Structure 1
Amino acid sequence: MADVRLLVDSFYDRARKDALLGPVFEAAIGDRWDRHLDIMYRFWQTILLEEHTYTGNPFSKHAPLPLEKPHFERWLSLFNQTTDELFEGPLADEAKNRAFKMGHIFQVKLDYFRQSGKQPLV
């Protein structure tokens, strides 16, 4: 779990300072960073370590945000850069693979709902 915390904390330190992502995170999270980071620890702990500590629907939290393709590209770039600087091996590769898949799925779903005018079930 210490490695998950290091990854999450290091990534969000970068993302919060990023000119493109920082304002989106600040607007969505505000002063609730401790709560958000705790959720992210549990999310990645569940995804990478198969310790089922997270329950929730991450897409529903992202659906109302003003996210476009450049946001996803920057998010993935920062995530991969952070992961590569801290870790190596199969679990690091899995983290980057999962991040890519999640970002891609979120982007496709957001595009669909925006183009169709439909609302996601949440």
Structure 2
Amino acid sequence: MMKDIQNRNDISRLVSSFYEEVRENEEIGPFFNRVITDWEAHMEKLTDFWESNLFHKAVYKGNPRIAHIHMDADTDHTVEIKHFGEWMRLWIKTIDQMFQGELAERAKNNARKMSTHLYLGIYMNRKPGIAGNP
């Protein structure tokens, strides 16, 4: 039986394993590899984010919604809902390979909610006529 996510080290391992796959993924890797220039700093920020999210600690400083809106603009408004679906597939797969339990399930559920929120933020901030926005 696998253990649940228990601490920052577990989150760091999860985030590192996940983004190794993301960076190699043909569907979503190009978005991340084009926009992220300092992967070490980004991994630390993502670990902060998930530590804040799962353990209710105020360690994350940032605005994921704004970051994703900028990323969409930087990639010529080519982000589609299918990209969030692929991100979710990899996230759930990575969690399921490494952990099981209440926090593992919370990480999956929170990511589902977050991905919907982030995609809607991207879509609502596109100017009319850009990438399918009426």
TM normalised by structure 2 equals 0.82
Structure 1 residue ranges, 4+ long, deviating more than 4 angstroms after superposition: none
Which residue in the other structure is 2:31 paired with? 24
Structure 1 residues 46-90: Cα deviation after superposition (integer angstroms, max 9, x where no partner): 001122211211111110223211110000010000011110011
TM-score, length basis structure 1: 0.89
**Quick one: distance in 2 between partners of 1:98 and 1:115?**
28
Q: How do 1:23-102 and structure 2 match up within 5 A?
A: 23-30=30-37, 32-66=38-72, 67-102=79-114
Unaligned 5+ runs, structure 2: 1-7, 73-78, 130-134
The alignment-based identity, stated in percent, is 34
Structure 1 unaligned segments of length 5 or more: list them. Answer: 118-122
Look up the match of 1:106.
118
Do residues 4 (structure 1) and 4 (structure 2) align? no
Following TM superposition, by how much is the alpha carbon of 1:116 offset from its aligned partner in structure 2, in angstroms?
4.9
Work out which structure has the larger RCO, using CA pairs closer than 8 Å and 6 or more positions apart in sequence. 2
How many residues in Structure 1 have an aligned counterpart in Structure 2? Answer: 116
